[in-house]
Amino acid sequence: MKNIFKGSLRGYVCEDCLEAVSEVEILIYHPYRNVDSTANTASSAKETFRFVSKEEAKQRAELLAYKAKTDAEGNFQIEVDEKHTDASFDIDFVCGSVPPKHPKPKRDEIVQLHITTFSMRLELEKQAKDERYRWEYAIAYKWWCYIRGHFFDAWVICGHLMNCQTNKPIANAKVTAMDADFLTDDNLGTATTDSNGHFRIDYTSADFKKTFLSPWINIETDPSFLSFQSGPDVYFKAELGGTKLVDETKADARKNIGFCLCVNLCSDVNVVDPNDPNFPSAWTGIGSKFSSSYGTSAPDFDAEGYASSDKNVLYSTIKLTGQAALKSAAGNPIEYRFSVSDATLPNDDINNPPLAGFTKIVGLYPNLFVPGVVSKLIRKVYSPIHNQISVVSDQSDFDAEGWFDVNHAIERALVSVGFTPANLILYNIIEEDTLISMNTAALTIAPDVPNIFSAGQPIPPANEIPVEKFAIRFEIREVINKAANQFGVIDGGKILNSVIMNNNPIYRRLAIKELEETTLCTPINGTVHAKYTLYHPYLASGRLHLNSNSLSIDRDVTDGIINTTLVKRINDNSALNAPPLDNLVRCTYTLKLYSSTRKHNGENGDSDGGTPLEQIFFYDENQV
Per the model's pLDDT, the better-predicted residue between 463 and 566 turns out to be 463
Measure the N-to-C terminal CA separation of the chain; round to a whole number of Å: 125
User: Could you tell me the pLDDT band of residue 289, with boundaries at 50, 70 and 90?
Assistant: very high
pLDDT computed for residue 547 by the predictor = 95
**Strand pairing partners for 190?**
176
Q: What are phi and psi of 121, to 5 degrees?
A: -60, -45
Quote the mean pLDDT of the chain: 87
Kindly report, residue by residue over 113-140, the tens digit of the pLDDT.
Answer: 999 999 999 999 998 899 889 999 999 9
Q: Over 80: is that where the pLDDT of 476 sits?
A: yes
Query: Any idea which of 259-273, 313-327, 414-428 has the lowest mean pLDDT?
Result: 259-273
- Which of 33-47, 247-261, 343-357 is predicted with the least confidence, judged by mean pLDDT? 33-47
Q: What is the percent of the chain where pLDDT is above 90?
A: 62
What would the mean pLDDT of 286-298 be, rounded to a whole number?
A: 92
CA distances from 394 to 317, 337, 408, 422, 493 (A): 16, 14, 10, 21, 23
Instruction: Taking residues 284-291, report their average pLDDT.
Output: 92
CB 433 within 8 A of CB 319: yes
Q: What confidence score (pLDDT) does residue 229 get?
A: 46
Mean pLDDT of the region 152-178: 88
**CA neighbor of 606 nearest in space, from 512, 547, 536:** 536
Residue 292: per-residue pLDDT: 93
The pLDDT confidence band at residue 329, using thresholds 50, 70 and 90, is: confident
Residue 313 confidence (pLDDT): 98
What pLDDT is attached to residue 469? 98
Average pLDDT over residues 284-289: 92
pLDDT digits (tens, 9 = 90+) for 499-518: 999 999 999 999 999 998 88
What's the pLDDT score for residue 205?
A: 87
Helices (H), 504-572: 513-516
Closest Cα to residue 426, out of 474, 389, 468, 476?
A: 389
Q: Residue 511 in contact with residue 572, Cβ under 8 Å?
A: no
Q: Is 610 or 278 the better-scoring residue by pLDDT?
A: 610
Task: Give 107's pLDDT tier (boundaries 50, 70, 90).
Answer: low
Model pLDDT, residue 621: 80
Q: With cut-offs at 50, 70 and 90, classify the pLDDT of residue 46.
A: low
Going by pLDDT thresholds of 50, 70 and 90, the confidence category of residue 610 is: confident
CA-closest candidate to residue 335, choices 178, 510, 478: 478
Residue 284 has pLDDT above 60, yes or no: yes
What are the tens digits of pLDDT across the range 401-434?
999 999 999 999 999 999 999 999 999 888 778 9
Q: Of 99 and 279, which is predicted with more confidence?
A: 99
Instruction: Spell out the residues 6+ positions from residue 451 whose beta carbon is closer than 8 angstroms to its own.
Output: none
pLDDT digits (tens, 9 = 90+) for 543-602: 999 999 989 999 999 998 998 888 999 999 999 998 888 889 999 999 999 999 999 999
At residue 38 the predicted structure's pLDDT band, cuts being 50, 70 and 90, is very low
- Residue 457 pLDDT class (50, 70, 90 cuts): very high
Q: Please tell me whether the overall predicted TM-score, pTM, comes out greater than 0.95 for this model.
A: no
pLDDT interval class at 220 (50, 70, 90):
very low
Integer angstrom CA distances of residue 277 from 172, 325, 326, 327, 391: 22, 7, 8, 6, 21
> Which contacts qualify for 292-296: CB closer than 8 Å, 24 or more apart?
292/320, 292/321, 292/322, 292/472, 292/474, 292/494, 292/496, 293/496, 294/347, 294/348, 294/496, 294/497
Using an 8 Å Cβ cutoff, are 266 and 164 in contact? Answer: yes
491 burial via Cβ count (<10 Å: 0-12, 13-18, 19+): middle
Cα distances (angstroms) measured from residue 613 to each of 337, 468, 508, 522 = 43, 28, 8, 20
Higher pLDDT, 44 or 351: 351
Reply yes or no on whether the pLDDT at 48 is more than 60.
Answer: yes
pLDDT at residue 275 tops 90? no
Q: How far is CA 121 from CA 28, 77, 85, 456, 481, in A?
A: 14, 15, 5, 103, 69
Given a cut of 60, is residue 94 above it in pLDDT? Answer: yes
Model confidence at 490: pLDDT above 80: no
Which strand (E) or helix (H) includes residue 498? strand 486-501
Instruction: Report the pLDDT value the prediction gives residue 221, as an integer from 0 to 100.
Output: 42
Q: Say how far residue 429 (Cα) sits from the centre of its chain.
A: 17
Domain architecture of the chain: domains with CATH:
3-140 (2.60.40), 154-269 (2.60.40.1120), 282-448+463-501 (no CATH), 507-619 (2.60.40)
Indicate the burial class of 364 (C-beta count within 10 angstroms; 0-12, 13-18, 19 or more).
Answer: middle
Stretch 452-475: mean pLDDT = 96
What is the bridge-based pairing of β-strands 64-69 and 25-29?
antiparallel
| Predicted local confidence at residue 322, as pLDDT | 86
List CB contacts of 235: < 8 A, sequence separation 6 or more: 177, 178, 180, 248, 249, 250, 252, 253, 254
By three-state DSSP, how is residue 469 classified? strand
* Segment 470-496 mean pLDDT: 87
Q: Number of helices (H) and strands (E), helices first, in the chain?
A: 6, 38
pLDDT of residue 224: 40
